[in-house]
């Protein structure tokens, strides 16, 4: 990182070079890499002139990707004339392009005025195409995104979700993206039975037919790191968090928010080990994701896409025209980490409604059989005494029989599940606090057989997984999220620095969709009605999300991650804050003191009075 390299950014009519001391140029995001360039007196910036810079000014072209990991958006100029520019962390070799040290000195002199960092707003755009050919669909997505406005010079990540109905080789996907987007830093995604995206009619879930969802994202307030893992990469169970930190390229004990998206092949046996390792090494990180899937016609053509310009774990760092890894994997798991002032809020809707409002406590588990619950109790039932699990279930079912027909009763019993509360300290439990697990029946000892290891003291509810339950659960999560946003806005508190969401990821079960609801795109459109931002994702073979303090692999679930700015970035994004951030002379954003009034033209200023006295 400290070795000096020769800058190859060409100064031409559409781009210019500016040189300044590193300390005056680094924005908050870039300060973490400042020590890596301590030996270099200056940093070079490709800044915008009247026209956008050429592709030679992108980070990928200017520097070796191994040394270009430090980058940000900074303000060039002052006030209304300030324009965003990409910071390229190159060590200066003592000469700018097209000139010697004199040119560098002149540029340094011209840039002597300090400039405040002004990170641009996040760029997050999504489009879904139904074109019948894979590359054709990709070009259609790019064309529609360009129609929405100019694409950013540097794209931190391209999120790609591809229908398994396409018969073409997936290897062309990453190569085409790299060719069309010279400033692309990462590619992340997978195949799916159905894919989720946005078109002119709104949020869409396209099932069992060719479709491609493409999201381009640039997050100046955060770092995006993509890694692919297989069994040989994983640290052993006794490895310290630092091993996971080195493997994934993010701090083991992050000071800023950390969000992680995990996509895995369904046959990858170590996926639970990956989730457990992430929880161990990054306990505060938000985690979401899913298992890649395919339709019956697509067969076993599942794949994950993981490419990084850093050239790590089989990914490529060479130009798009050069032979390189295609970034397509049929085995293993891919992890995308977002580290910085971007927060991901989770909603894990498991598609269930409570059979009743009764919460039971596990009093006894069958010896040697942790999945068999022998006795349950509830304060409001049988005076709180312990009951055999089968008797407790019969009491619960009896309480709802009155309003059911025989058909409804059979359907309810066929869809019964058990909700297990992993959090033992929370006093009041809501439906979303329960981890849904299969109710496999009762044994000859009247024990309840659950698809989860149970322990004494855990709280459970009998749940129903059906269309009504999925709709109620989805609405419950959407309303709860809007309520928290409103409370944060009115009352402050932990979320008082939260800004409006700018993007949404959705990983929903392939058992939901039109087969459950009888209509297309129900999950996507419902969540978009509560959080009206571009959404992207796919229909999974298993969903990943945190419930309590643990990340679980779910079924029949809609896992949603809402992205928003937080901390100082959220404060800067509020109305009226832009000037305070971009202007070096501005007061602190929290200061409410008005600026001093200029002296009256009829009265001399204090400085003028002092000069008159001296004369």
pLDDT at res. 491: 73
Tokens of 364: 């006894």
pLDDT at res. 307: 94
- pLDDT > 50? residue 73: no
Closest to 453 in 3D by CA, of 428, 422, 430, 414: 422
pLDDT at res. 614: 52
d(CA 91, CA 5): 6
pLDDT-above-90 percentage for the chain: 51
pLDDT at res. 291: 96
Burial of 70 (C-beta count, 10 Å sphere; 0-12/13-18/19+): buried
d(CA 135, CA 105): 47
**More confident site: 88 or 237:** 237
- Segment 132-150 shows an average pLDDT of 96
- pLDDT > 80? residue 601: no
Tokens of 265: 């092949």
d(CA 279, CA 285): 8
Which has the minimum average pLDDT: 301-310, 323-332, 560-569? Answer: 323-332
Q: In what order do the strands lie in the sheet with 222-229?
A: 222-229, 333-340, 258-264, 286-291, 543-547, 550-554
d(CA 388, CA 376): 6
Specify the pairing of strand 186-192 against strand 157-163. Answer: parallel
CA distances from 451 to 390, 419, 488 (A): 16, 11, 38
Task: Quick: pLDDT tens for 583-594.
Answer: 323 333 333 333
pLDDT category of residue 515 using cuts at 50, 70 and 90: very high
Tokens of 522: 């129900």
- Contacts of 138-147 with CB under 8 Å at 24 or more apart are 138/173, 138/176, 138/177, 138/212, 138/214, 139/176, 139/180, 141/212, 141/213, 141/214, 142/180, 142/214, 144/199, 145/214, 145/216
- Segment 439-461 shows an average pLDDT of 92
pLDDT at res. 224: 96
Which has the minimum average pLDDT: 68-82, 97-111, 396-410? Answer: 68-82
d(CA 503, CA 506): 10
In the DSSP assignment, the letter for residue 230 is -
Are 265 and 302 in contact by the 8 Å Cβ rule? The answer is: yes
Tokens of 379: 């304060």
Task: Quick: pLDDT tens for 178-199.
Answer: 999 999 999 999 999 999 999 9
- Segment 493-514 shows an average pLDDT of 82
Q: For residues 533, 536, 540 and 546, what is the CA-based torsion angle, rounded to 10 degrees?
A: -50
**More confident site: 222 or 60:** 222
Bridge partners (DSSP) listed for residue 198:
203
pLDDT at res. 300: 60
Show the DSSP H helices in 45-156 as ranges. 59-62, 101-110, 134-147
**More confident site: 345 or 600:** 345
> How many Å is the maximal CA-CA distance in the chain?
108
Task: Quick: pLDDT tens for 263-322.
Answer: 999 999 999 999 999 999 999 999 999 999 987 554 567 899 999 986 644 344 444 434
pLDDT at res. 326: 78
pLDDT at res. 32: 38
- pLDDT > 70? residue 494: no
- pLDDT > 70? residue 353: yes
pLDDT at res. 9: 38
Q: Which residues of 295-320 are buried (b: 16+ CB within 10 A; e: fewer)?
A: beebeebbbbbbbbbbbbbbbbbeeb
Tokens of 26: 């680094």
Helix axes 134-147, 171-180, angle to 10 degrees: 30
- pLDDT > 50? residue 234: yes
Tokens of 3: 């070795």
Specify the pairing of strand 194-199 against strand 286-291. Answer: unpaired
pLDDT at res. 608: 52
Phi, psi dihedrals of residue 148, rounded to the nearest 5° = -75, -10
Which pTM value belongs to this model? Answer: 0.72
If phi > 0 it is left, if psi is from -120 to 50 it is alpha, else beta; for residue 204 that is beta
- pLDDT > 60? residue 117: no
Specify the pairing of strand 558-565 against strand 501-509. Answer: antiparallel
Q: Tell me the residue ranges of DSSP E strands in 366-453.
A: 372-377, 387-388, 416-421, 435-442, 448-450
Q: Which residues of 503-514 are buried (b: 16+ CB within 10 A; e: fewer)?
A: bbbbbbbbbbbe
Query: Across all residues in the chain, what is the average pLDDT?
Result: 76
**More confident site: 58 or 234:** 234
Closest to 26 in 3D by CA, of 154, 122, 119, 120: 119
Are 544 and 262 in contact by the 8 Å Cβ rule? The answer is: yes
Residues constituting the chain:
615
pLDDT at res. 81: 35
d(CA 289, CA 561): 9
Phi, psi dihedrals of residue 62, rounded to the nearest 5° = -75, -45
């Amino acid at each position: 990182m400290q070795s000096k390299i020769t800058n190859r950014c060409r100064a031409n009519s559409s781009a210019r070079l500016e040189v300044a001391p590193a300390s005056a140029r680094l924005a908050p995001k870039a300060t973490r890499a400042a020590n890596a360039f301590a030996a270099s007196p200056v940093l070079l910036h490709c800044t915008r002139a009247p026209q956008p810079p050429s592709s030679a000014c992108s980070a990928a072209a200017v520097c070796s990707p191994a040394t270009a990991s430090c980058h940000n958006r900074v303000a060039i100029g002052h006030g209304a004339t300030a324009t965003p520019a990409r910071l390229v962390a190159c060590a200066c070799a003592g000469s700018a392009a097209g000139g010697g040290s004199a040119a560098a000195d002149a540029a340094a002199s011209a840039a002597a005025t300090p400039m405040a960092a002004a990170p641009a707003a996040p760029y997050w755009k999504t489009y879904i195409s139904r074109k019948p050919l894979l590359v054709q669909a990709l070009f259609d997505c790019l064309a529609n995104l360009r129609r929405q406005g100019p694409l950013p010079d540097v794209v931190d990540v391209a999120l790609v979700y591809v229908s398994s109905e396409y018969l073409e080789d997936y290897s062309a996907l990453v190569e085409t993206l790299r060719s069309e987007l010279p400033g692309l830093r990462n590619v992340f995604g997978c195949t799916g039975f159905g894919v989720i995206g946005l078109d002119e009619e709104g949020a869409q879930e396209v099932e069992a037919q060719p479709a491609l969802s493409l999201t381009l994202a640039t997050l100046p307030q955060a770092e995006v790191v993509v890694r692919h893992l297989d069994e040989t990469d994983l640290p052993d169970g006794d490895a310290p968090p630092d091993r996971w930190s080195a493997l994934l390229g993010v701090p083991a004990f992050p000071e800023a928010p950390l969000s992680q998206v995990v996509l895995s092949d369904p046959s990858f046996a170590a996926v639970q080990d990956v989730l457990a390792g992430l929880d161990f090494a990054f306990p505060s990180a938000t985690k979401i994701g899913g298992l890649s899937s395919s339709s019956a016609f697509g067969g076993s053509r599942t794949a994950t896409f993981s490419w990084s310009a850093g050239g790590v774990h089989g990914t490529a760092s060479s130009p798009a025209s050069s032979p390189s890894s295609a970034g397509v994997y049929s085995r293993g798991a891919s992890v995308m980490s977002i580290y910085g002032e971007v927060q991901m809020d989770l909603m894990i809707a498991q598609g269930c409604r409570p059979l009743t409002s009764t919460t039971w406590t596990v009093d006894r588990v069958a010896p040697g059989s942790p999945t068999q619950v022998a006795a349950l109790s509830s304060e409001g039932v049988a005076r709180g005494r312990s009951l055999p699990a089968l008797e407790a279930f019969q009491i619960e079912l009896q309480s709802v029989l009155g309003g059911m027909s025989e058909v409804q009763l059979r359907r309810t019993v066929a869809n019964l599940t058990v909700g297990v509360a992993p959090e033992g300290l929370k006093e009041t439990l809501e439906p979303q606090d329960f981890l849904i697990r299969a109710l496999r029946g009762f044994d000859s000892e009247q024990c309840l057989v659950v698809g989860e290891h149970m322990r004494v003291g855990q709280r459970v509810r009998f749940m129903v997984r059906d269309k009504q339950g999925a709709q109620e659960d989805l609405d419950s999560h959407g309303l709860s999220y809007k309520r928290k946003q409103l409370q944060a806005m009115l009352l402050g508190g932990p979320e008082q620095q939260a800004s409006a969401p700018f993007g949404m990821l959705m990983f929903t079960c392939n058992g939901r969709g039109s087969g459950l609801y009888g209509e297309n795109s129900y999950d996507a459109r419902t969540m978009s009605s509560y959080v009206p931002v571009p959404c992207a994702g796919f229909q999974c073979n298993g969903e990943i999300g945190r419930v309590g303090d643990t990340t679980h692999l779910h079924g029949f679930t809609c896992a949603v991650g809402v992205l928003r700015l937080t901390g100082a970035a959220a404060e800067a994004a509020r109305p009226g804050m832009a000037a305070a951030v971009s202007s070096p002379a501005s007061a602190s954003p929290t200061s409410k003191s008005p600026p001093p009034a200029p002296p009256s033209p009829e009265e001399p200023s204090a400085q003028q009075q002092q000069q008159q006295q001296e004369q």
